[in-house]
Amino acid sequence: MVDFGGWDMPINYGSQIEEHHAVRQKAGVFDVSHMTVVEVTGSGARDYLRHLLANDVDRVAPGRALYSGMLNDRGGVIDDLIVYKRDNDYRLVVNCATRETDLAWMEQHAGGFAVDIRERADLAMLAIQGPEARDITAGLLDGARAEAVQTLKVFGFAEDGEWMIARTGYTGEDGVEIMLPGADAVALWNQLLAAGVAPTGLGARDTLRLEAGMNLYGNDMDDSITPWEANMGWTLVLNDRDFIGRQPLLNQQENGHAELVGLVLEGKGVLRAHQKVLMPNGEEGEITSGTFSPTLGKSIALARLPAGATGKVDVEIRNKRQPAQVVKAPFVRNGQAVYKAI
Amino acid sequence: MSEIPAELRYASSHEWAKNDDGTVTVGITAHAQDAMGDLVYVELPEVGQVVAAGDEAGVVESVKAASDIYAPVSGEIVAINEALEDEPELVNNVPYEGGWLFKIAMSEESDLDNLLTADQYQAQIESE
């Protein structure tokens, strides 16, 4: 068990690699109740979020979720989050480690908007992920909840009472994330385990998200890194809307910037965060997240490299240079290797 | 409770040492492999390398982190466990048998006296 932002959380329940394979091959469940849930309501909610977030909530219809960065005045990422768009208001799920900063920033910028910002610390959250995750979960539920699990489209969500069921995740597999009252979460957790779903800890959560090419806040980006530099350019909507951090992003788009790319190790060892990357032209970069990929049987990483990095690079591991290939992430989707050398 | 064979000696850095007529086989303890989690890579010394007790002599990496391995006694490396290149999980599954790391032709037999007995090692991990 480790202390994770004030929560006692297991790195693994048994073997981390077996938990990883369970999610890729069948189904695993993560207790992600540490994630911070925030409701944004009021007649000014839409305008407020269009100012606060670098992605545009107008991009999606009610009943859909949207991934976005929340940026500071310099375009640095204060946090990455998911917005669930309802008919008249919004729910946000932000990272636990950045909870206080996020809430303070959100309050600070709420002036002038008719919004109410309220944390929902009463809700728990379970992520059930894997090729059989939806079938097994639906089999344990009734009525509208079972139907939602079976029929939701990717990034769609539905609500039934205090339950919010979303077809989202952080693993690169199919599955759902369910926000629900704490007492219900314990019952569902026990039912899932009885149905053969593997309890899965933070360790496998990290190897799964890295194989899926998904960023981890604090590793792959922070408030000194812009979305352009963190492979989050696809989340930016640079229309004429004046959101926080927009101008620095426009400047950087014009002037160029470092990039977050994938690496696959061809030499010996394991890629880890903060190892130095040496490019053939003498330029340098740094690994932001690295691990051994249980699915690929190789070491993989995300690395911030100078613009246009391709081909072979060297990584300095314990004072020795080890060759690696620059690739386009993700590494794994739906159980299969999908990365391509660039 | 992790297995701690009575006939072995232990370093406080969690290596075990088994002396057979001056050739000392070295591995990491069941407790150490359990704390590290699934091993995915093992870097071993080279045969012929001369080490002093306490020197770094290798690295084991789990999915979580890398940990240095220290030579528990001084001498020359005379064998390494090449099976670990393809099957590092042997260290997890059979830490005191097929998961051994390397063998040292001991140059100072008295080094063994500086290592912990099974009871002493047990006491150390209970106090951690």
pLDDT digits (tens, 9 = 90+) for A82-140: 999 999 999 999 999 999 999 999 999 999 999 999 999 999 999 999 999 999 999 99
Strand B50-51 and strand A157-160: the pairing is unpaired
Position B118 in a domain: no
CATH number at B48 reads 2.40.50.100
pLDDT of A181 over the 90 cut: yes
Give every CB contact of residue A202 below 8 A, 6+ residues apart in sequence: A2, A4, A9, A10, A11, A12
pLDDT digits (tens, 9 = 90+) for A8-36: 999 999 889 999 999 999 999 999 999 99
- Tokens for B122, please give them: 């047990």
pLDDT given for residue A302 in this prediction: 98
| Residues contacting A293, CB < 8 A, separation 6+ | A207, A210, A211, A299, A300, A331, A332
CB contact under 8 A, B37 and A11: yes
**DSSP structure class, residue A330:** P
Q: CA-to-CA distance for A223 and A237, rounded, in angstroms?
A: 19
Q: Which of A16, A268, A269 sits opposite B38 (nearest CB)?
A: A16
Whether B9 maps to a domain, the answer reads: no
The answer to the question of residue B5 being in a domain is no
For residue A34, the surrounding DSSP H or E stretch is none
Which pTM does this prediction carry? 0.91
| pLDDT at residue A126, as a whole number | 98
Among the partner-chain residues A17, A272, A318, the one whose CB lies closest to the CB of B38 is A17
Instruction: Provide the residue type at A267 as one letter.
Output: G
Which CATH entry fits the domain spanning A2-210: 3.40.190.10, 3.10.20.810, 3.30.1360.120, 3.40.50.880? 3.30.1360.120
Band (A152; pLDDT cuts 50, 70, 90) = very high
Q: Indicate the residue of B38, B41, B66 with minimum beta-carbon distance to A15.
A: B38
Cα end-to-end span (Å), chain B: 14
Which domain, by its residues, includes B47? 20-108
Phi, psi of A214 (to 5 degrees): -95, 140
Contact A68, A15 (CB under 8 A): no
Q: How confident is the model at residue B39 (pLDDT cuts 50, 70, 90)?
A: very high
Q: Å from A9 to nearest chain B CA?
A: 15
pLDDT band at residue A190 under the 50/70/90 scheme: very high
Helix boundaries (H) for A109-222:
133-140, 143-151, 182-194, 202-211
Task: Point out which residues pair with A123 in neighbouring strands.
Answer: A181
Tally of structural domains, chain B: 1
Give the long-range contacts of residues A131-135, CB within 8 A, separation 24 or more.
A131/A24, A131/A25, A131/A26, A131/A27, A131/A173, A131/A174, A131/A334, A131/A335, A132/A26, A132/A27, A133/A27, A133/A28, A133/A173, A133/A174, A133/A175, A133/A176, A133/A197, A134/A167, A134/A174, A134/A175, A134/A176
Nearest CA in chain A to B64: A203
> Tokens at residue B98, please?
């097929």
Closest CA to A175 of A124, A131, A226: A131
Q: Which of A176-180, A236-240, A335-339, B87-91 has the lowest mean pLDDT?
A: A236-240
Nearest CA in chain A to B65: A272
Chain mean pLDDT for chain A: 96
Burial status of residue B39 (CB atoms within 10 A of its CB: 0-12, 13-18, 19 or more): buried
* Substitution target from B63, B86, B91 for chain A, most A beta carbons within 10 A: B63
Q: Which of A15, A17, A318 sits opposite B59 (nearest CB)?
A: A318
Q: B6 in a domain, yes or no? A: no
Domain boundary assignment for chain A: 2-210
| Spatial distance between the Cα atoms of A12 and A9, rounded to a whole number of angstroms | 9
Q: Look at residue B70 and tell me if it is in a domain.
A: yes
- Residues of chain B with C-beta less than 8 angstroms from the C-beta of A16: 37-38, 63-64
The pLDDT tens digits of the residues spanning B3-15 come to: 999 999 999 999 9
**E-state strands within A10-153:** 28-31, 36-41, 64-71, 77-85, 90-94, 116-119, 123-129
Chains A and B: how many Cβ contacts under 8 Å? Answer: 37
Alpha carbon B31 to its chain centroid, in Å, reads: 12
- On the question of a cis peptide bond just before residue B45, with omega within 30 degrees of 0, the verdict is no
Do A244 and A293 form a contact (C-beta atoms < 8 A)?
no
Residues of A engaging B, defined by a Cβ cutoff of 8 Å: 11-12, 15-17, 203, 207, 268-270, 272, 291-292, 294, 299, 318
CA distance B42 to chain A (A): 8
State both tokens at A327: 């690739």
Cβ(A274)–Cβ(A262) below 8 Å:
no
pLDDT tens by residue, B43-74: 999 999 999 999 999 999 998 889 999 999 99
User: How many helices (DSSP H) and strands (DSSP E) are in chain B?
Assistant: 3, 9
- Give the single-character DSSP code of B36: H
Percent of chain A with pLDDT over 90: 96
For residue A2, pLDDT beyond 90: no
Does B43 touch chain A if contact means CB atoms closer than 8 Å? yes
pLDDT at A284 > cutoff 70: yes
Kindly state the tokens that stand for A10.
Answer: 């297991």
Task: State the pLDDT at residue B1.
Answer: 58
Asked if residues A262 and A326 have their Cβ atoms less than 8 Å apart, the reply is yes
Matching residue, tokens 């998911």: A82
Does B37 sit within 8 Å of A203, measured CB to CB? yes
- Find all residues with CB under 8 Å of A115, minimum gap 6, and list them: A40, A41, A42, A44, A45, A48
Q: Radius of gyration of chain A from Cα atoms?
A: 20
Helices (H), A117-165: 133-140, 143-151
What pLDDT, on the 0 to 100 scale, is given for residue A3? Answer: 87
